[in-house]
Structure 1
Amino acid sequence: MTEVIAHRGYSAKFPENTMIAFHEAEYANADGIELDVQLSKDGEVVVIHDEKLNRTTSGKGYVKDFTLQELKKLDAGVLFPNLSEKQTIPTLEEVFAWLATNTLICNVELKNGVFRYEGMEEKVIKLIRQYDLSKRTIISSFNHYSIVHCYRLAPEVEIAPLLSEGLYMPWIYAASIRAKGFHPRYSAVPNEVISLSLESGIAVRPYTVNKEVEMERLFQINCTAFITDDPTIAVKLRDKYKKDKA
């Protein structure tokens, strides 16, 4: 059955890429979480989407220009002022330590399209191995050179290219770079492409699927998974779809 992956955690109702958003995704019965990583000034792997701090935190400027200690002082919950507790930017290690206590899958997106972040792939893979998460982690990126580098470093960890536009026969491209799947923008992947990919043994996990009509389409064709801001709606729909089929 199609898996539900919470985009930056339960980001529809909680601050994206924070521990509360990840915990709430688990409580919502999501099958996994998706998160984004970059490097701090002192080389720590931190979980945040934008290259700049401005949108989601109380800080201003680029993530790469701040040490982990400086980043930890910021409030990462500014878009949700009603939260009772301050949320901080997590490290990937913090998330992995928590993942070691459950069975969720984790899609780690490398945000290295703007800044190269030398050595980030090695650091992410070291943490995956340290926490024994090789079988539950998928590394994705719009930077396909980066995920190929990851595959060469750790062939046991699944990689998946992110695709923002339609690609001709993407299942063949994915197989050519040793990816077992790909993550397309949901509007750029028609049913036929999903079906042909699945028939070729290539997983398809579209992003970011928030409309119920799109979720239903993906459940109906038994898509591998999809990435959504609201796992509660997705899980509820899936349960209803399962019941109707039975």
Structure 2
Amino acid sequence: MTLIFAHRGYSAKYPENTMKAFKEAEKAGADGIELDVQLTKDGEIVVIHDEKVDRTTNGTGYVIDFTFEELRKLDAGHKKSLLKKEPIPSLREVLEWLKTNNLKCNIEIKSNLATFMKIEQPVISMVQEFGLSDRIIISSFNHYSLVYCYRIAPEIEIAPLYAEGLYMPWVYAESIRAKGMHPKFKVAPNEIIKASMEYGIDVRPYTVNKEKEMRRLFEIGCTAFITDDPVLALKIRKEYH
């Protein structure tokens, strides 16, 4: 069965990368969630996509320039005009919540010059602390970051993110010890997905929001896909399973 991962939670309807979006994805029946992690000034791991807080909160500036306490004062829900303030979650908060359910979780490491080789170990240590190694997939566009993660904790699955067409991507994935890969859906034609899965590499394309693309992936039995709208994906999946 093709699994459905909610991209930054149920982000089509709720503020992305917030506990509200994650909890609503679980309520909807998603198989997993996808989230992004960054480091704060005081070394806390927080769940936010951009290097700056401007797009998703009512604040301005770089995440790395805020302490965790300062970040918590911002409202990550104001763009969706929720009545209740939604804070930026810490990774610890999300992992604690994951212990209460069976969801899989794709942690995307946002690794830049400021955080490369600084964020990977704390993320892995926290996953191990909560005993969630078998339910976590670590992905990143920084494949050096992934190799580093694999060396620290080979038991935690890694999956490279990529947005350009790769020749025989399953061979590349295997070369960095990845058991899966997360291509942009536009560079994941059926023949590439099928060949990768036959080779033993899981394929989870991102970000799949159109019904036509969802149907294509269900029809070929793709491992999983990442979507902003898990409700639509679940509705369509019922026709195939």
**TM beyond 0.5:** yes
**Structure 1 residues 149, 161: CA separation in 2 closer, same or farther (over 3 Å shift)?**
same
Distance 2:19 2:193 in 1: 32
Distance 1:94 1:142 in 2: 24
Structure 2 letter corresponding to 1:122: Q
What is the CA-CA distance between 1:84 and the residue it aligns to?
1.9
Counterpart position of 2:230? 231
Deviations 1:41-76 (A, max 9, x none): 000000000001000001100000000000000000
Counterpart position of 2:93? 94
What is the CA-CA distance between 1:78 and the residue it aligns to?
1.8
Counterpart position of 2:83? 84
Q: Residues 207-226 of structure 1: matches in 2 within 5 Å?
A: 207-226=206-225
What is the CA-CA distance between 1:113 and the residue it aligns to?
3.4
Alignment check: 8 A CA contact 2:163 2:187 kept: yes
Counterpart position of 2:33? 33
Distance 2:129 2:184 in 1: 31
Alignment check: 8 A CA contact 2:34 2:108 kept: yes
Counterpart position of 2:138? 139
Alignment check: 8 A CA contact 1:39 1:117 kept: no
Counterpart position of 2:154? 155
With structure 2 as the length reference, what TM-score do the two structures score? 0.99
Deviations 1:185-211 (A, max 9, x none): 000110000000000000000000000
What is the CA-CA distance between 1:114 and the residue it aligns to?
5.5
Alignment check: 8 A CA contact 1:38 1:48 kept: yes
Counterpart position of 2:24? 24
Segments of 5+ residues of structure 2 without an aligned counterpart are none
Counterpart position of 1:205? 204
Alignment check: 8 A CA contact 1:164 1:184 kept: yes
What is the CA-CA distance between 1:39 and the residue it aligns to?
0.2
Deviations 1:142-168 (A, max 9, x none): 000001000000000000000111100
Quote the sequence identity (%). 64
Q: Please state whether the residue corresponding to 1:138 is helix, strand or coil.
A: strand
Alignment check: 8 A CA contact 2:39 2:115 kept: no
Q: Please state whether the residue corresponding to 1:226 is helix, strand or coil.
A: strand
Distance 2:33 2:57 in 1: 21
Alignment check: 8 A CA contact 1:181 1:202 kept: yes
What is the CA-CA distance between 1:117 and the residue it aligns to?
4.4
Q: Please state whether the residue corresponding to 1:49 is helix, strand or coil.
A: coil
What is the CA-CA distance between 1:119 and the residue it aligns to?
1.9
* Superposition misfits of 4+ residues, deviation over 3 angstroms: none
Distance 1:41 1:4 in 2: 34
Segments of 5+ residues of structure 1 without an aligned counterpart are none
Counterpart position of 2:45? 45
Counterpart position of 2:58? 58
Deviations 1:78-122 (A, max 9, x none): 2111x1210000000000000000000000000113533442100
Structure 2 letter corresponding to 1:65: D
With structure 1 as the length reference, what TM-score do the two structures score? 0.97
**Number of equivalences:** 241
Distance 2:35 2:164 in 1: 21
Q: Please state whether the residue corresponding to 1:79 is helix, strand or coil.
A: helix
Structure 1 letter corresponding to 2:27: Y
